[in-house]
Structure 1
Amino acid sequence: MVFHSKVFHSKVGNLAIGATLCLGVASPALAETVLKVGLIDPPAHIDVVATERMAEKVAELTGGEIKMEVYPAAQLGFANDMLSGMKLGTIEMFVGATTWLGAFDTDFWVTGTLYLFNDQDHARAFHEGESYQKMADRLAAEHGIRVLVRNWDRGPRNFISTRPVETIDDLQGLKIRVPPQESWIVNFQLPGAAATPMPLSETFTGLQQGIVEATEQASNWLYANKYHTIAKNLTRTNHNYEETGVMISEAVYQSLTDEQRDALVAAAMEIAPWHNEQVAVQIEEAEAKMAEEGVTILDVDKAAWQEQFRAIFDELSTKVGYSPDLVEELKAGWN
């Protein structure tokens, strides 16, 4: 006797399984595609929490066909390792600052420029604009990495230091940890700082041992990584605004169905407004907690800092090698 095909719904994961029963034997369930997603952020960081929410939404939208496994705190390697893995197709996804992509295409480093953007809205608008889309298309075609979305705010970056930093003159000789990206290195070298490229995994120890005197990131990141327990000065410069990108190996992306691709983008876009609200909340809470825990919070003349750093943008662009048209477009956004 043959039983007609029916659809059964699992209570766990709401997975729809098409099963045809013949002589009492069930056919196998639909295949599940597992996408490992790496981040360098600690588990409580908003990007990690948002990626976990995205994973839940993707499972819902695909009926359980796509399972995103989230690995925070550089469990799959540091940023450059994961990006190289995506290019080779050995790592499926990475969620992190889009400036890391400058390792493959120099123009992506430009968003690591101090005072390039007026505020977070300005940064997000550029990332979602036509010029950035062309960069993203070029990256996918030439390097096998696709940026699905790039509108998750990272929040303004500030300094935390073992000695006070209040004016640009205080940067002279300051041993500051910077990401191993040329834009960051040159940006701090030009005003006289002793820019020290250093992996994030070594930054805490570096501050502790005096190898560096300062580092910089968004305040929620600084607090989550406990830098404030060593460096007791937080300087709110708001000197850089970045966006987090949700990225996927192009080879993996092409292996998915159109519906699965759409689900990934839809889920990431749906999470974005909530993510960006939480970034602002986390930053406010982190700064309040640091103040309670004995950190001196300093504010600067942002207009003066902005003017001086924008004055060196042309020299920086020449040294790093950004596309001239891109440089002129970004400068036009200052008006």
Structure 2
Amino acid sequence: MRKRVLSAIFACVFAVGLLAGCANSGQNASGETKSGKRIWKFAHTRAEGTDNDKLANEFADKLTSQMDNLQINIYPNNQLGDYTVVQECAGMGEIQLMLGSMSPSVNSTLSVQIAPYLATSWDEAMALYNSNDGMVYQYVSGQLKKENIKLLAVIPKYFGAIMTTKPAKNIETPGAKKGLKIRVPQQKAFEEFGTAIGFSTTPLPTSDTFTALQTGVVDGVSGGGAEQYWNDYGELCKYLYCTKTHMECHWIYMSMDTWKTLSAEEKQIVQKSAKEIEDEAFKLAKSNEKKYIKLFKEKGVEVYEPGNKVIDDYRDYVRKKVWPKIGSEYGSVWGKLSKKIQNQ
């Protein structure tokens, strides 16, 4: 544990000190400088001009227009480190705001939010993930408090899909052999899921996936969705199977040290603004689902959009065959969450 904490500290000092001058800026937890102006660092994981970048800038504009003496500097495209580094830095008060994926490196149960087949419709996703009373949101929020982080909003991205360079067999039958080897994220849940629905699986980090696809080490990819595949592997994709494997969300959160420096009025401004961004993000994600499928089709990719019966078959099969094997990965919340979903 001590070694991990020290590594995180060194990573934060390097990333933030080198790129933003934080270590020697004279700022406290509020981001306040000696002149009295607050300067916040807002990191996100996507490139400039992407949807996340636009949402981050919109959120920052909402805050700076309503809060005195506040400047927010946005660092896109992992400029302050990847999402794991930034999450730990936020917990230590070195970065004020983040929009990106949730890292399970400190708490592995946080990966419950991408468990397979929690939801298969946008209404179900809204019910589980919304920041008012969504069960997944409430769990993630509670766990982040232990990391000294204040969760502000969920930013839904897409339903998961499987992309391949060769055609899969028996795609309409969940448990039948598909005849392909696919990359899966390095998590037990995705490996169990991919194997259960008939693929041979190879766990790989995202950084190795493009080369593995390009060289034929794997025939396809699971763990992403149409939006990610278009941006990361669009030139290699030949087949896209939109089987709604999981719900992928990004999150907006704040260092708890920074949160505690805000007045009651400022906290209301932050929460109201975050909720407005969240509502916008749900609408954007729904429209993007159609947008990226259309882009793939126009490029000549064969896109399989299963009907409700096939989606239901996959959902029921995975919940029966896979869920009992992955519950231990998520801790005590899994029993409550799975029971709630199956009783709906």
TM-score, length basis structure 1: 0.79
What's 1:331 paired with?
339
Quote the sequence identity (%). 19
1:145 aligns with 2:152: no
What's 1:250 paired with?
256
Cα pair distance change 1:111/1:75, threshold 3 Å: same
1:209 aligns with 2:209: no
Secondary structure of 1:37's match?
A: strand
1:112 aligns with 2:111: no
CA RMSD, aligned part only?
2.8
Once the two structures are superposed, the pairs formed by residues 1-335 of structure 1 within 5 Å of their partners are 31-63=36-68, 65-97=69-101, 100-127=102-129, 128=131, 129=133, 131-132=135-136, 135-136=139-140, 138-150=142-154, 152-165=155-168, 166-167=171-172, 168-169=174-175, 174-191=180-197, 193-216=199-222, 217-225=224-232, 227-300=233-306, 301-323=310-332, 326-334=334-342, 335=344
How big is each residue's C-alpha offset from its partner over 1:231-285, in whole Å with a ceiling of 9 and x where there is no partner?
A: 2111111121233321122222223333333322222211223222222222322
Q: CA deviation at 1:80?
A: 1.4
Is this contact kept in 1: 2:196–2:322, CA < 8 A? no
Q: CA deviation at 1:181?
A: 3.9
Cα pair distance change 1:34/1:198, threshold 3 Å: farther
Is this contact kept in 1: 2:188–2:326, CA < 8 A? no
Q: CA deviation at 1:212?
A: 2.9
How big is each residue's C-alpha offset from its partner over 1:38-58, in whole Å with a ceiling of 9 and x where there is no partner?
A: 222333432221111111111
Secondary structure of 1:59's match?
A: helix
d(CA) in 2 for partners of 1:36 and 1:290? 36
Amino acid in structure 2 at the alignment position of 1:111: Q
Cα pair distance change 1:275/1:130, threshold 3 Å: closer
Q: CA deviation at 1:169?
A: 4.9
How big is each residue's C-alpha offset from its partner over 1:123-153, in whole Å with a ceiling of 9 and x where there is no partner?
A: 2322332644653453244221221122x22
Is this contact kept in 1: 2:113–2:136, CA < 8 A? no
Is this contact kept in 2: 1:158–1:238, CA < 8 A? yes
d(CA) in 1 for partners of 2:180 and 2:88? 32
Q: CA deviation at 1:177?
A: 2.9
Is this contact kept in 2: 1:176–1:212, CA < 8 A? yes
TM-score, length basis structure 2: 0.77
d(CA) in 1 for partners of 2:137 and 2:243? 29
**Which deviates further from its counterpart, 230-239 or 107-116?**
107-116
Cα pair distance change 1:244/1:281, threshold 3 Å: same
Q: CA deviation at 1:33?
A: 2.1
**Structure number with larger C-alpha Rg:** 1
How big is each residue's C-alpha offset from its partner over 1:284-313, in whole Å with a ceiling of 9 and x where there is no partner?
A: 222212111111111332122112111124
Amino acid in structure 2 at the alignment position of 1:257: S
d(CA) in 1 for partners of 2:287 and 2:134? 30
Q: CA deviation at 1:208?
A: 1.5
Amino acid in structure 1 at the alignment position of 2:44: L
Mind listing any 5+ residue stretches in structure 1 that lack a counterpart?
A: 1-27
Amino acid in structure 1 at the alignment position of 2:162: F
Mind listing any 5+ residue stretches in structure 2 that lack a counterpart?
A: 1-32
What's 2:19 paired with?
none
Is this contact kept in 2: 1:58–1:67, CA < 8 A? no
Secondary structure of 1:121's match?
A: helix
